Amino acid sequence: MDGMHDHGMGDMGMGMDMEMNHMTFFWGKNVEILFHGWPGHNSGMYELSLIVVFALAVIVEWFSHCQLIKADTNYVTAGLVRTIMHALRAGVSMLLMLAVMSFNGGVFLAAVVGHTVGFLLFGSGIFNKSHTTHPHKVSDLPPLSC
């Protein structure tokens, strides 16, 4: 048996501290989001994690609708700025996706509300009359696509 019997069949040698990963939505503050042990079992840290997820979603919407590059910017500089912005938007989007993959209902709702608020602020044009009068330039980056 080469010492295999010491581990037993239940834990398959992976240790007894392995926590269950949810594969369906659940509600509650006891969740891990992005990092091992975070937010843990602390209600305040869970609330902070929801705020972080909300902020990440707003940031993705900002990147998707911002206009930082001026019309007279050198095309090489503009291309480099767009590339950096694209990399940041992709990275933040992936972090947000991984957070939602915790399958926690609160995290999911924080992401959806963050995207909604971000779109309202940056994409809807409700706070910027130039979106309705000059719709040809909406953003420095193309829309996200799957």
Q: What is the pTM of this model?
A: 0.74
Length of the chain: 146
Q: What is the pLDDT of residues 64-73, one digit of tens each?
A: 998 888 889 9
Lowest mean pLDDT among 30-34, 84-88, 122-126: 30-34
Kindly report the number of other CB atoms within 10 A of residue 114's CB atom.
23
pLDDT tens for 77-122 read 999 999 999 999 999 999 999 999 989 999 999 999 999 999 999 9
Contact 61, 119 (CB under 8 A): yes
